Amino acid sequence: MTTGLILVLVFFILVALNVPIGFAIGLSTLAALVAIMPFDPATTTMAQRMVAGLDSFTLLAIPFFILSGYLMGAGGVARRLIDAAKGLIGALPGGLAVVSIISSMLFGSVSGSAVAATSAIGSFMVPAMKKEGYDAPFAASVTTSASILGLLIPPSNVMIVYAVAAGGVSIGALFLAGYGPGLLAGLALVIAAVIVARKEGYPVSERLPFKDSIRTVFPAIPSIAMLVIVVGGIVSGIFTATEASAFAVVYSLILGVFVHREMAWKDLPGVIVKSAETTGIVLFLIAASTGMAWMLAYSGLPGAIAAALLTISDNPLLLLLLINVVLLIVGAFLDITPAILIFTPILLPVAVALGISPVHFGMILIFNLSIGLCTPPVGTVLFVGAAVGETKVAAMIKPMIPLYLAMLAALAVTTAVPALSEALPRFFGMM
């Protein structure tokens, strides 16, 4: 318990000193190890645990999906998704806001990255919304909040991370489980955006003829088809998640170079370098977080926390409410990948003791921590949205409030209704 407390204390001190989160995780774990053994064995043990944390065939899917996302971004997918959404729903009240939500949700799902969705969709939609008379903070807020939905709708890198942290949960089951919460959250954001747009009197786009609306959809079909092929292939057993990620890279490359013809071969090295940089950051976070999770388990702190939570009440909904509050706070300070790796071994035993399946709990965990990505003070996606929208984070807080409320309402339904997450995995025999 003492080593666990040392780890937690050093970690929060380093975070308060603005030490990068990956280094804060690694150094705090090393400090806890040094408290129980000499320095040389401590560093060796830390290195071994970090390497062991990456020694997983399942994790190989992450760099492939990251590369696929960058290829999609460079290959003109964002603009085609925006055009399709605009043609179908642009004439609704607050139509451009709804288009931004749908486009961000679709691009986030095909790219697997909330940051990429915010950057790609925001660079198109925020200027268009400002030109039509929308306030810049609201335009940036809509894109920012919707981009996190791609983490709930597969293929999602964070679902793969959770599957590894939870110890053998089916990635296919998690992918299927994400559709219900993801689509519900998207619907909630659309309703909130329409209400705000009507209240503020934002303009409505001109309705396109039916034939023209349908025509805008066809260029986006190859991009959306990747979701069907990847998830369908995993669910049907045609290929594993890792094989699906490799297929996604080839598919994205063909789409950008030969179908859309918006990416030249000379652009490929730059795309690969960006992908490698992102992959390096993500895998370092996974390695450091795996070491911390092992150290926490060794200290007995997760078991103590789980036992303490179970003594508070035997009401599952009350404990889930408490877990949601804890995760929302954690998400505001920690990036989603290390948060999943650290808190899954702490909270999953509590959830299982309450009769909650690992798949349902995974959706609750990912949903909470995704909201944290657009929550100050450390919300990565929030800062990217402010930069893309050329506005300040402080100016975005007020227009974000109704969007936060919409996401929290969807989270509450996801938490209280297990069938929302479990229906599809059970239907396909994956639970």
- Residue 210's pLDDT is what? 63
Task: Give the pLDDT confidence score for residue 289 in this predicted structure.
Answer: 82
pLDDT given at position 213: 67
Q: What is the pLDDT of residue 209?
A: 66
CB 137 within 8 Å of CB 178: no
In this prediction, residue 410 carries a pLDDT of 96
Query: How far apart, in whole angstroms, are the C-alpha atoms of residue 245 and residue 156?
Result: 10
> Both tokens of residue 109?
């799902």
Q: How much is the pLDDT for 183?
A: 92
Q: Which pLDDT score, from 0 to 100, does residue 205 have? A: 63
Buried b (16+ CB within 10 A) or exposed e, 210-219: eeebeebeeb
* 155 φ, ψ (degrees, to nearest 5): -80, 135
Task: Report pLDDT for 307.
Answer: 76
d(CA 103, CA 78): 7
Low-confidence ranges of the chain (pLDDT < 70): 1, 85-94, 204-210, 212-213, 378
Tokens at 306, concatenated: 């789980």
Q: Where are the alpha helices (DSSP H) in 170-315?
A: 171-177, 179-200, 210-217, 221-236, 241-254, 268-299, 301-312
pLDDT at site 212: 66
CB 256 within 8 A of CB 75: yes
61 CB-near residues (< 8 Å, 6+ apart): 157, 160, 171, 241, 242, 244, 245
Residue-level pLDDT at 87: 67
pLDDT value of position 415: 93
Say how far apart CA 381 and CA 369 lie, in whole Å. 12
Percent of the chain exceeding pLDDT 70 equals: 94
What pLDDT, on a 0 to 100 scale, did the predictor assign at position 17? 85
Instruction: Quick: pLDDT tens for 112-154.
Output: 777 777 877 777 778 878 877 888 888 889 888 988 888 888 8
pLDDT of residue 53: 81
pTM greater than 0.95: no
Cβ-Cβ contacts under 8 Å for 176 (sequence gap 6 or more)? 154, 231, 235, 424, 425, 428, 430
pLDDT tens, residue by residue, 120-130: 777 777 887 88
* H or E, element range at 79: helix 77-89
State the pLDDT at residue 380. 76
pLDDT at 215: 75
Secondary structure of 246-264 in HEC code, one letter for each residue: HHHHHHHHHHHHHHCCCCC
Residue 241: the pLDDT is: 77
Q: Report the pLDDT value the prediction gives residue 204, as an integer from 0 to 100.
A: 67
Q: Say what the pLDDT of residue 318 is.
A: 85
